[in-house]
């Protein structure tokens, strides 16, 4: 049967389908990282995993309005990878791929082996099963940003710092850092309290006295509990974190002006601030979060709005990186901890599915490629970890292979962090 989707695809083919030749990103490995996380489990079938011909998949086409001729899901191809677009429901997604699709690639079928949010989040962020281990954002920052005020900055509230906490900073889920940088900015007082915050703003002398006290107290603990091992390392970390904090606060005041104490920063604020921090050399990696709640058990149609808001941010991010000349040495990763089931449940929602996909944008990888893959049931397929090609003689692309491979692509030896794990290097240019 000839559908509206077929009509759209045939009539606009010349405008919508670019050449299938692949461009390859060249140059040195990226030194800066922007990690964009879609917390809650996005439905990759709405964008990164087209499954039009799969009879057991309820893709976004089930939400089409038959009375609206512009509400049509269609597939657009860039070299080896395709995406699902809908110019009516998700125009920001269409704009992003129209402008930047030839500069992207997709990693499909990353197997997490878990259905719980916390478990899957830990695995996809750290490449391990332990929440006490540092995540990719923190490791990249600690290694590539060793000489900077901070290695990494977490603007999402979700980053896991592990043993590298001394090298990373957090703005706080409600922008608490703003009141530290500028004490005159304060959280609003409770309405019925009759108080006005802040009640006291330390002067320069007070700040110096506080820092001197904390440093002398830490050194005293170090002298008392020195053991040549664990205790000494913790004291050294504490002193390092104090020094890094002092440098960061001294150099970042004007950069953090967009933060408002008590308010969760929007995706646009996170992205703009993250680019500012990287450009000014205040850190080498940042993690942001889309601020949408992607866990659509009860109403999967909400995924359209979530994708629209996320790619509004991606359009802003891409333009910022281009305008500032940062796209050639910055890697952007857009990912979630899982995807949704192929079929809708009885509540018109979708449940957890232990496979995920990532969008790569920026520097350091061959563009217009799909690495790995999923079958018609959105289940991860085996692939050659060295090439990313789907093959039965390969192995599952697991979360540890994926994160280890990202480290390798950032020119960081993964063996130090993931001993015995084969890194997924197929994505590396």
pLDDT tens per residue across span 68-102: 999 999 999 999 999 999 999 999 999 999 999 99
Tell whether 326 and 407 lie within a shared domain: yes
Task: Give CA–CA dist 143/413, Å, rounded.
Answer: 10
**Closest to 176 (Cα-Cα) out of 286, 283, 248, 265:** 265
102, 368 Cβ separation under 8 angstroms: yes
| Count of residues in the chain | 429
pLDDT category, 10, cuts 50, 70, 90? very low
Looking at the structure of the chain, the number of domains it has is 2
Task: Give CA–CA dist 31/261, Å, rounded.
Answer: 31
pLDDT of 255 > 70? The answer is yes
Tell whether 289 and 245 lie within a shared domain: no
Instruction: Determine the angle formed by the axes of helices 230-252 and 204-225, rounding to 10 degrees.
Output: 170
Tell me the pLDDT tens digit for each residue of 199-241: 888 888 998 999 899 999 999 999 999 999 999 999 999 999 9
Tell whether 247 and 290 lie within a shared domain: no
398 belongs to a structural domain: yes
174 belongs to a structural domain: no
> Residue 59: helix, strand or coil by DSSP?
coil
* Residue-by-residue DSSP string for 251-297: HHTTGGGG--TTSPPPHHHHHHHHHHHHHTTS-SEEEEE-------S
pLDDT of 15 > 80? The answer is no
158 belongs to a structural domain: no
- DSSP count for the chain of H helices, then E strands: 11, 12
Q: CA of 135: how far to CAs of 141, 286, 384, in Å?
A: 10, 12, 24
pLDDT category, 26, cuts 50, 70, 90? very low
Tell whether 237 and 318 lie within a shared domain: no
Which tokens is 284 given? 């080498």
Task: Give CA–CA dist 368/21, Å, rounded.
Answer: 8
Q: CA of 197: how far to CAs of 179, 186, 222, 242, in Å?
A: 11, 6, 36, 26
190 belongs to a structural domain: no
pLDDT of 19 > 90? The answer is no
Tell whether 246 and 289 lie within a shared domain: no
Candidate from 27-31, 258-262, 382-386 with smallest mean pLDDT: 27-31
> Residue 106: helix, strand or coil by DSSP?
strand
Per-residue buried b or exposed e for 302-319, using 16+ beta carbons within 10 Å of the residue's own CB:
bbbebbbbbbbbbbbbbe
Tell whether 326 and 382 lie within a shared domain: yes
Task: Give CA–CA dist 79/246, Å, rounded.
Answer: 48
Residue 6 confidence (pLDDT): 52
- Name the E strands within 363-401: 370-372
Q: CA of 73: how far to CAs of 240, 315, 395, in Å?
A: 52, 20, 32
180 belongs to a structural domain: no
| DSSP 8-state assignment for residue 104 | E
Q: What is the mean pLDDT of the chain?
A: 92
Neighbours of 123 (CB within 10 A): 27
Task: Give CA–CA dist 81/1, Å, rounded.
Answer: 26
CA-based R_g, the chain, Å: 23
Tell whether 404 and 292 lie within a shared domain: yes
pLDDT category, 5, cuts 50, 70, 90? low
Tell me the pLDDT tens digit for each residue of 367-420: 999 999 999 999 999 999 999 999 999 999 999 999 999 999 999 999 999 999
- Name the E strands within 86-240: 104-111, 152-154, 168-170
Q: CA of 383: how far to CAs of 79, 302, 330, 419, 420, in Å?
A: 19, 32, 27, 21, 19
The domain of 12 spans: 4-129+285-416
Tell whether 357 and 238 lie within a shared domain: no
Tell whether 96 and 212 lie within a shared domain: no
Task: Give CA–CA dist 153/167, Å, rounded.
Answer: 9
pLDDT category, 20, cuts 50, 70, 90? very low
**Average of pLDDT values for 1-20?**
43
pLDDT category, 28, cuts 50, 70, 90? low
Place of tokens 């191809």: 77
321 belongs to a structural domain: yes
Question: Between vectors from CA 42 to CA 429 and to CA 136, what angle results, nearest 5°?
Answer: 45
**Average of pLDDT values for 57-71?**
97
Tell whether 343 and 412 lie within a shared domain: yes
Tell whether 342 and 227 lie within a shared domain: no
362, 315 Cβ separation under 8 angstroms: no
315, 272 Cβ separation under 8 angstroms: no
Task: Give CA–CA dist 405/394, Å, rounded.
Answer: 16
152 belongs to a structural domain: no
Tell whether 236 and 290 lie within a shared domain: no
**Average of pLDDT values for 166-178?**
90
365, 428 Cβ separation under 8 angstroms: yes
Among 191, 225, 251, the domain-final residue is: 251
Q: CA of 68: how far to CAs of 6, 71, 89, in Å?
A: 15, 5, 11
Share of the chain above pLDDT 90, in %: 80
- Name the E strands within 39-163: 74-78, 81-85, 104-111, 152-154
Residue 29 confidence (pLDDT): 83
**Average of pLDDT values for 250-262?**
87
Chain center to CA of 29: 19
Candidate from 136-145, 173-182, 254-263, 327-336 with smallest mean pLDDT: 173-182
70 belongs to a structural domain: yes
Neighbours of 214 (CB within 10 A): 13
pLDDT of 17 > 60? The answer is no
């Amino acid at each position: 049967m000839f559908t509206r989707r077929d009509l759209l695809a045939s009539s606009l083919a010349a405008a919508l389908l670019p050449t299938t030749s692949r461009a390859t990103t060249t140059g040195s490995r990226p030194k800066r990282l922007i990690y964009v996380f879609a917390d809650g489990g996005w439905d990759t079938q709405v964008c990164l995993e087209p499954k039009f011909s799969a009879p057991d998949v309820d893709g976004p086409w089930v939400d089409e309005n038959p009375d609206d001729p512009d509400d049509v899901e269609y597939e657009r191809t860039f070299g080896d990878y395709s995406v699902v677009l809908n110019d009516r429901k998700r125009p920001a997604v269409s704009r992003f791929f129209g402008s930047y699709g030839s500069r992207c690639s997709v990693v499909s079928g990353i197997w997490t082996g878990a259905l719980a949010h916390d478990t899957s989040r830990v695995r996809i962020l750290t490449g391990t099963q332990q929440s006490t281990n540092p995540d990719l954002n923190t490791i990249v920052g600690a290694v590539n940003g060793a000489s900077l005020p901070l290695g990494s900055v977490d603007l999402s509230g979700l980053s896991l710092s592990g043993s590298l906490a001394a090298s990373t900073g957090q703005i706080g889920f409600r922008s608490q850092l703003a009141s530290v940088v500028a004490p005159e900015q304060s959280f609003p007082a409770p309405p019925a309290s009759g108080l006005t915050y802040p009640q006291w703003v330390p002067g320069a002398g007070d700040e110096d006295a506080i820092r001197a006290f904390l440093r002398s107290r830490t050194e005293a603990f170090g002298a008392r509990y020195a053991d040549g091992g664990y205790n000494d390392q913790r004291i050294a970390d504490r002193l390092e974190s104090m020094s890094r904090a002092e440098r960061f606060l001294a150099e970042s005041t004007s950069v953090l002006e967009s933060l408002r104490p008590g308010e969760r920063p929007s995706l646009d604020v996170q992205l703009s601030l993250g680019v500012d921090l990287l450009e000014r050399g205040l850190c080498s990696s940042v993690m942001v979060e889309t601020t949408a709640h992607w866990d659509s058990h009860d109403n999967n149609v909400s995924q359209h709005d979530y994708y629209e808001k996320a790619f509004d941010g991606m359009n802003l991010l891409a333009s910022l990186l281009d305008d500032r000349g940062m796209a050639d040495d910055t890697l952007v990763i857009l990912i979630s901890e899982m995807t949704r089931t192929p079929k809708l449940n009885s509540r018109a929602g979708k449940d957890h599915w232990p496979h995920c996909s990532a969008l790569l944008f920026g520097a350091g990888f061959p563009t217009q490629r799909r690495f790995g893959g999923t079958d018609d049931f959105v289940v991860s397929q085996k692939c050659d970890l060295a090439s990313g090609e789907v093959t039965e003689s390969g192995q599952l692309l697991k979360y540890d292979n994926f994160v280890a491979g990202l480290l390798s692509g950032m020119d960081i030896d993964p063996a130090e962090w993931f001993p015995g794990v084969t890194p997924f290097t197929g994505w590396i240019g």
